[in-house]
Chains A and B, each alone.
Chain A
Amino acid sequence: MIKRLFLPLSLFAYAALPVLAADHEIVQSDRAFSKQEISIKAGDQIVFKNDDEVTHNVYSATAGMSFDLKRQAPGASSTVPFPKEGTAEVQCSIHPKMKLLVHVTK
């Protein structure tokens, strides 16, 4: 008879497992972002989903955190990693009223 050893899951809580980066979703709809500010951890990603009826172009010109998702047609989704700490000012180039502040912390 083989003894099976079932280790309680709680033992693993103290093991050196990598922290999983989280995905956050920001939706574009009615020519607006679903949030105006979001706080995430360095290493997390934001999924920008275009749920609108028009094309958007999400970008950030913040030094060290810049990106350009180019045109997103209605229905498209793009993922942006945020590896560095800081605050990125994100906008839609086509609709400049659409603004989002991304606060990235450790």
Chain B
Amino acid sequence: MQKYKRPTAVPFPADNAYTKDREFLGKTLFFDPRLSRSHSTSCASCHNPGFGWSDGLSKGIGFGMKPLGRHSPTILNTAWADLLFWDGRADSLESQALGPIASPGEMNMPLDELIKTVNAIPGYKPLFERAYPSAPINADTIARAIATFERTVVSTQAPFDKWIKGDESAISSDAKRGFDLFNGKAHCSQCHSGWNFTDNGFHDIGVRSDDRGRGAKLPLDSMQFAFKTPTLRNADLRAPFMHDGSEENLESIVAFYDRGGDENRPSLAPEMAPLHLSANEKQDLVEFLKALTSRDNPVEIPLLPR
């Protein structure tokens, strides 16, 4: 049970330490749609606290209301992530933050215009001065502030955590059986490991899709069609699931794993195989997954500076 113990502190990098001012500035930027060319899309549009920091869609909506190529991942618990994006192409939250902003298909705001836009809003000057004294308002400080805020987006205690601490009444007996299946017959824990239920790794789990995922960035056989293992915490708040949003809900995703995925190709992770779960066992797994959801406080939307 030790391996499921939640950490007591959030890690912040030495070159971007936490301060309340950095968190406040980062949150303000995160919710500010003026960081997009259309002035209508903020980070929070696709990473919406109301949908577990995803957007409730199979695939996100980008510039010009065009659907994007992949499902919006949650930012929950990304303070502990190693690589970011479904294909792991960013090695820090700081480098990830500017990606969607500058991407023509997403917020479509080239970085030089972003810097001009933020500098032209007088209300941002004191916020930046408090967060990064004597530093210019530029791509670096914008990204660092957003990353600082993102690191504070952490799931709180779930019923599962109470049970781990010894409260036998915290979760149902269905969920307890689900936990045994999770670690045993269904062997979900091979990839969804540890307190955050992710190995932060990359696996091809056989989703029917042409998207090469990590394989397009790291051309190894094992990385073809491989995507990052997401956390399972608060999963039921952010259906649908998979890199393409192809699994509608917890029941359908358990069924996906029960059949061993949908593509038997050379890159398929050896951990994927039909599970032969009974209807009750599938339901127990779903109950267990629901026990991983914490009742976090609603997020206060910041007033945006003028």
Taking Cβ atoms with an 8 Å cutoff, the residues of A that contact B are: 31, 53-55, 57, 59, 61, 68, 70-71, 73, 93-97
Q: In the complex the two chains form, is A96's CB within 8 Å of B269's CB?
A: no
Out of B82, B83, B199, B270, which one reaches A71, CB within 8 Å? B270
CB-CB under 8 A for A71 and B200, given A53-B190, A55-B269, A97-B82: no
A57 contact set on B, CB distance < 8 A: 220, 222-223
Instruction: Please give the distance in Å from B39's CB to the nearest CB on chain A.
Output: 36
Out of A73, A93, A97, which one reaches B220, CB within 8 Å? A93
Report the nearest A residue to B228, measured CB to CB.
A96
Q: In the complex the two chains form, is B220's CB within 8 Å of A54's CB?
A: no
Instruction: Please give the distance in Å from B129's CB to the nearest CB on chain A.
Output: 36
Out of B193, B200, B203, B271, which one reaches A96, CB within 8 Å? B200
CB-CB under 8 A for A96 and B220, given A54-B271, A55-B270, A71-B270: no
Out of A53, A54, A55, A70, which one reaches B221, CB within 8 Å? A70
6 A–B contacts from the bound complex (CB under 8 Å):
A31-B199, A53-B190, A57-B222, A70-B222, A94-B202, A96-B202
Out of A53, A61, A70, A96, which one reaches B83, CB within 8 Å? A96
A73 contact set on B, CB distance < 8 A: 270
Q: In the complex the two chains form, is A96's CB within 8 Å of B201's CB?
A: yes
CB-CB under 8 A for A94 and B203, given A31-B193, A55-B271: yes
Interface of chain B residues 65 through 117 with chain A (CB within 8 A): 82-83, 88
9 closest A-B pairs (Cβ-Cβ)?
A: A57-B222, A95-B201, A94-B201, A97-B82, A93-B220, A55-B270, A54-B190, A96-B82, A93-B223
Out of A54, A61, A93, which one reaches B222, CB within 8 Å? A93
A70 contact set on B, CB distance < 8 A: 220-222
Report the nearest A residue to B191, measured CB to CB.
A54
Instruction: Please give the distance in Å from B85's CB to the nearest CB on chain A.
Output: 12
CA distance A31 to B271 in the complex (A): 15
- With contacts A31-B193, A57-B222, A70-B221 known, what are 10 further pairs, Cβ within 8 A? A55-B270, A70-B222, A71-B221, A71-B270, A93-B214, A93-B222, A93-B223, A94-B201, A94-B226, A96-B200
Report the nearest A residue to B194, measured CB to CB.
A31
A59 contact set on B, CB distance < 8 A: 220
Out of B199, B200, B218, which one reaches A93, CB within 8 Å? B218
A54 contact set on B, CB distance < 8 A: 190-191, 199, 271
Q: In the complex the two chains form, is A71's CB within 8 Å of B222's CB?
A: yes
CA distance A69 to B271 in the complex (A): 18
CA distance A95 to B202 in the complex (A): 7
